[in-house]
Structure 1
C-alpha cells in the first residue's frame, strides 16, 4: 500500500455535485483504502478563462500500479463528460482528477509525471492539500505553508475561498 494524493476540480455543469460523485466513485475502486478528502474550495481559473472552479484534495492508500490508478481516474473523468481539446491546456472542464504524488514513486513518462510538475504553483492544489496534510513537504523539503506563502506572493491573482459543507 502506498499513500496517494489527488487534486479534484470542476467548473462546468454542477461542479460540486461532480466532485461529490467522483469521490464516491474513487472510494469504490478496488484497492483504494483509507480515503480522506478536504473541504471544497471555490477558486479562480489559473491560466484560463471560464467560470470559477470547485476544488478539493484527497488522500488515500492504493494497492496497485500508478498507471493503473491513472487509467481508472481517467475513466471516471470520461464518465463525467471530460473532454481534452487538442493543444488546449487548462480548458474549462466537467471534472479533473490529477494524481499529485504517490509515496516513494517518481515518474517521468509523457503519460504520468510524479510528483505533479505544477502542484507547487497552484493555491487550488496546495490549500486543500494542507488541510489534509499540514506537515506535507515538497521533494526539495519545502513545507506546504511556505509553498502557499510563496504562491500568494508571486501570483496574488490566485483566489481561493473555503466553501461551507
Structure 2
C-alpha cells in the first residue's frame, strides 16, 4: 500500500483520530461474508451498494470463497466470503459506519458472537493506520489468522501484504486454510 502520513502523525497526539477525513483518497480493504438467505445475491448487492457509496471507489473485488464457519454455534451453513480493495475519502469511522449501514439494509442482527448472519462487513485495513480503539481496531485484530479473509484477498492480489507479511503466506498458515474453496465458475457472485 502507498504510505501516507497517519492521522495520528498529522494530529500530533498518541492515538489515531478515527474521525479525521483524509486530504486525498486512501486505500482500504474490506471483507464481506454471508451465510443466511441468498448469500451470493446479498454479496452482489452489498458490493454494488459499496461501489455507489459516496467517498468510496472500488479498485478490486476478489473471487468468492466458500468457507466453513469459524467459531460460533455449531450447525451453521457455509459462508460465502470476498474481499474488496478500495480508495476512500471517508474517515475510518465513516467507512465502518457505511459498512454497518449496508449490513442494516440486509437485516443484519448482532445476537450471537460469530453466529450466522445475513451480511458481515469488516474493515481489515485503512491505509497504514493502526488503532486499538474498541470500536475499530486496525488492522483487523484477527484478519492475519483467517484464511476466509486472506485466501480470497490473495486470489485478487497475490502481492498483497498485511502488517508486512505476504497475505498468501498468512493464508497458508491459517488454521482454517483447508476449509476455503473458490465458488465454482458460473455460480452467481460478484467476484466469481
Gaps of 5+ in 2: 1-24, 186-191
Aligned pair count? 159
Q: Which has the larger radius of gyration?
A: 2
Distance in 2, matches of 1:103 and 1:133, equals: 16
Distance in 2, matches of 1:148 and 1:104, equals: 20
Q: Provide the residue aligned with 2:102 in structure 1.
A: 76
Instruction: Say which SS state the counterpart of residue 72 (structure 1) adopts.
Output: helix
TM-score for both structures, normalised by structure 2: 0.79
Residue deviations 1:123-146, cap 9 Å, x none? 11001111222112221x221222
Q: Provide the residue aligned with 1:160 in structure 2.
A: 180
Written as runs of structure 1 = structure 2, the 5 A alignment for 1:108-127 is 108-127=132-151
**Alignment equivalent of 1:56, drawn from 78, 82, 94:** 82
Q: Tell me if the contact between 1:5 and 1:58 (Cα under 8 Å) persists in the aligned partners.
A: yes
TM-score for both structures, normalised by structure 1: 0.91
Gaps of 5+ in 1: none
Q: Tell me if the contact between 2:63 and 2:156 (Cα under 8 Å) persists in the aligned partners.
A: no
Distance in 1, matches of 2:83 and 2:176, equals: 21
User: Per the alignment, do residues 123 and 43 of structure 1 end up closer, same or farther by CA in structure 2, a change over 3 Å counting?
Assistant: same
Cα RMSD, aligned residues only:
1.4
Q: Provide the residue aligned with 1:144 in structure 2.
A: 167
Residue deviations 1:34-82, cap 9 Å, x none? 4320111110000123000000000010012010111111010011010
